[in-house]
Amino acid sequence: MSERVSLLRAEEALLKPGVYFMQGNIAAAEAALVAGCRFFAGYPITPSNEIAEHMSRRLPQVGGYFIQFEDEIASVIAISGAAYAGVKSMTATSGPGFSLMQEGIGMAAMIEAPIVIINVQRGGPSTGLPTLVGQGDVMQAKWGSHGDYEIVAYLPSSVQEMFDLTIQAFNTAWTYRVPVIVLPDQRVGQMIEKLSVPDYNEIPIAGRIAPEEPPEEFLPFNSKYLVPPMAFAGEGYRFHVTSLTHDERGYPSTSHKISTQLVTRLIRKIRDNEKAIGRYESVLTDDANLVVVAYGITARSALKAVKEARKEGLKVGLFRPVTAWPFPYWGLKEAVDRGADIVVVEINMGQMVRVIREHFANIVNIHSMTWAPGDVPRPHDILVKIKEVYEG
Amino acid sequence: MSLRVPHSRTDPLKSLLRMERFPHIWCPGCGIGVVVKCFVEAALQSGIPVEKHVVVSGIGCTSRAPGYIKVDGFHVIHGRAIPFAIGLKTARPDLEVTVIAGDGDLLAIGGNHFLHATRRNDDINVILVNNFIYGMTGGQYGPTTLEGALTTTSPYGFVEGAFNVPYLASALGANFVARWTPLHTKELTNTMLEMFKVDGFAIIEVVSPCLIYGELNNMPPLDMMKWLKDNTIIDHNADLSKIDVNFKKPLVLGNFVRRYRPSHQTRLKELVKKVVGGG
């Protein structure tokens, strides 16, 4: 069969625009196919298995390949290899597997391989609570691998966002040549609810920026760009890539000047674009004296609590970061300038609250509502905290 | 000392070497440079366009090889050359992907990937340079260190056993298994040419002298070269269970295994055809 025919078949095989009743993990898998993912590598782990299972069934239908590897380490490395061969690729996992992947994520950041990792968070630490909810990997997503680098992480809060943000994750990965993490919690990954799939011409799909220079002039890590154009293996550029600190030619270097140039660029390509990448949602914050910060499944509980509080006449709003990294701190600035109290609710022992303190400590009062993994705080639980702070 | 190489022989090889990166990092007497030369010769003779050759490695002395070879090359993290190579090959089957790495990288930290890539019959070539030791980190023992050997982490003698690489690879189902030394350049180059033709997992073990190992074990590279010259037997039909490396008996070399099991990538392509073809 010609490549052309198989591509046409692939388009036909994508999820049709329309309304579905679908599980979050499966919505993410379908979204990956829409984004152009044609290679999946993974290792079984609860509660992310539906993604791998669905990809194993669906990828061959669109002319793609699925490999269940011997572990998560091989999986995250293989998708970097496939990306450098020009194929959009991803993996999916949960806590313990995400820990195993960290060295590979650092490598992808260093060699600027565009990959997507879905980490459906379960309760930790260690083997923890395989089937139950947690939000304890927020800091790990950013700081999990050694050395200085930047990644992007999204925090879906619904099945719709599992779909939308997975496509966005691919676009961001390929636009910035960076590993991108989709970071749902177990509840968002495994809940089943409404999904609207728009017409595909309404969904922008990003690809690589291809080199313009002829191979003999091509520098794979040309520092005149924040994001260097990417050559694929087999195209005739005959380039070298190393996860050692490297110069613009991709050759190892121990020079401090080269190290400075490389690490600075890897960080700047995300930090300089934080407002283009970072996203958030604000609800009822315009006049709020108290803003609840919550994400993932917790944001849905918190929204209900905010509405209950409003019914009781309390001026309370919700700030929901949609990107964990870069953290959209600028979205909170107005509420902070008004002197609103901040209450951060998350299913961990206080992770995201540290970032908010980093930006706004000594300006407003920042309160942490911690919640051990295994269950979601109910709206009532959050309302009690809101009242305690509001009236305190 | 200056080395004179006839012009007609150097020029074609230089086209596949990153000459600007020389001198290389390897010690005098090391066999890895010979492996690079044989690979470059084989790649040029292979008839496969040079832009389709890709080399992948992990970490260690041998893993520096792709840095000197002017084809698309990936020098990735320790132990992970094989999964990276599988990603490349699966995504783009027209690439000829060769992993060049050492014993510690492939068989210790990367052992699990070696095991499963061989079982799956992933369509990659592996050149495993076995020098019995972790040379780059200063001489610690590894999975092919010989019993009793002195290393910086076995100062009283090594008390574990060593892998018999061809026996292991054959038992795991590899389509192609061979063993040579840097003294056998013609055989090694020809075997690489055979390896490129294999659809499936192909491995060549290159038993190599190492300055670090030699200094610790009273067998400097030149002595080992001499030992290899005088104590090797070529037996393509050898009983692999009996060909462990042991300096007390002759070293058996050869092209031991040639199987025709369809590769993982061929079967994945067939799977897609079946699924798409069936609507």
Say what the pLDDT of residue B9 is. 55
| Structural Rg of chain A based on CA atoms | 21
Q: How far apart are CA A151 and CA A81, in angstroms?
A: 18
Q: Which residues of B68-87 are buried (b: 16+ CB within 10 A; e: fewer)?
A: bbbbbbbbbbbbbbbbbbbb
Using a CB-CB cut-off of 8 Å, the residues of chain B touching A242 are 67, 74-76
User: How do A192-197 and A18-23 pair as beta strands?
Assistant: antiparallel
Other CB atoms within a 10 A radius of the CB of residue B186 amount to 10
Q: Where are the domains of chain A?
A: 3-202, 281-391
> Is A1 a residue whose pLDDT tops 50?
no
Say what the pLDDT of residue B277 is. 79
Q: Do the Cβ atoms of B85 and A251 come within 8 Å?
A: no
Say what the pLDDT of residue B278 is. 61
Peptide bond preceding A326 in cis form (omega within 30 of 0): yes
For residue B163, give the nearest of B182, B176, B177 by alpha carbon: B177
Q: How far apart are CA B109 and CA A165, in angstroms?
A: 35
Interval A9-68: pLDDT, tens: 556 789 999 999 999 999 999 999 999 999 999 999 999 999 999 999 999 999 999 999
Q: What type of residue is A317? A: G
Query: What is the Cβ-side half-sphere exposure of residue B162, based on CA atoms within 13 angstroms?
Result: 24
**DSSP letter assigned to residue B35:** H
CB A63 within 8 A of CB A10: yes
Cα–chain center distance at A377: 23
pLDDT average, residue stretch A275-301: 98
Going through chain A in order, the beta strands assigned E by DSSP cover: 18-23, 39-42, 65-68, 89-93, 116-119, 122-123, 129-133, 152-154, 180-182, 192-197, 240-242, 280-283, 290-293, 316-321, 323-325, 341-346, 366-370
**DSSP letter assigned to residue A286:** T
Q: Do the Cβ atoms of B276 and A60 come within 8 Å?
A: yes
Interface of B with A in 112-151 (CB under 8 A): 112-113, 115-116
Interval A222-275: pLDDT, tens: 999 999 999 999 999 999 999 999 999 999 999 999 999 999 999 999 999 999
> Is A3 a residue whose pLDDT tops 80?
no
Token pair for residue B135? 């040379």
Collapse the DSSP code of B3 into the 3-class scheme (helix H, G, I; strand E, B; otherwise coil) and give the result: coil
Using a CB-CB cut-off of 8 Å, the residues of chain B touching A80 are 76, 84, 87
Q: How far apart are CA A266 and CA A268, in angstroms?
A: 6
B86 interfaces chain A, CB cutoff of 8 Å: yes
Using a CB-CB cut-off of 8 Å, the residues of chain A touching B48 are none
Cα–chain center distance at A100: 17
Nearest by CB: A241 against B73, B115, B275: B73
Collapse the DSSP code of B276 into the 3-class scheme (helix H, G, I; strand E, B; otherwise coil) and give the result: helix
ipTM: 0.96
CB A205 within 8 A of CB A169: no
**DSSP letter assigned to residue B69:** B
pLDDT average, residue stretch A82-102: 98
CA dist A128 → A42, A132, A372 (Å): 20, 9, 11
Q: Say which residue the tokens 């194993």 belong to.
A: A56
pLDDT average, residue stretch A124-136: 98
Say what the pLDDT of residue A327 is. 98
State the helix-helix crossing angle for A24-35 and A159-176, rounded to 10 degrees: 30
Low-confidence stretches of chain B (pLDDT beneath 70): 1-10, 278-279
Token pair for residue A227? 């994001």
Q: Where are the domains of chain B?
A: 29-277
Say what the pLDDT of residue B279 is. 47
Say what the pLDDT of residue B11 is. 72
Length of chain A in terms of residues written: 392
Say what the pLDDT of residue A5 is. 44
Q: How far apart are CA A262 and CA A249, in angstroms?
A: 12
> Is A3-202 a domain of CATH 3.40.50.720?
no
Give, in degrees to the nearest 5, the angle at Cα B92 between B86 and B94: 110
Task: Give the pLDDT band (50/70/90) at residue A2.
Answer: very low
Bridge partner list, B205: B128, B179
Interval A105-115: pLDDT, tens: 999 999 999 99
State chain A's mean pLDDT as an integer.
Answer: 96
Q: What type of residue is A218? A: F
* CATH placement of domain B29-277: 3.40.50.970
B238 interfaces chain A, CB cutoff of 8 Å: no
Q: Do the Cβ atoms of A39 and B87 come within 8 Å?
A: yes
> Is A281-391 a domain of CATH 3.40.50.300?
no
Q: Do the Cβ atoms of B56 and A81 come within 8 Å?
A: yes
Task: Give the pLDDT band (50/70/90) at residue A128.
Answer: very high
Q: In chain A, pLDDT over 70 holds for what percent of residues?
A: 97
> Is A353 a residue whose pLDDT tops 80?
yes
Q: What type of residue is A99? A: S
Using a CB-CB cut-off of 8 Å, the residues of chain A touching B77 are 77, 103-104, 107, 243
Residue A106's contacts (CB-CB under 8 Å, 6 or more residues apart) are: A144, A145, A146, A147, A149
Collapse the DSSP code of A86 into the 3-class scheme (helix H, G, I; strand E, B; otherwise coil) and give the result: coil
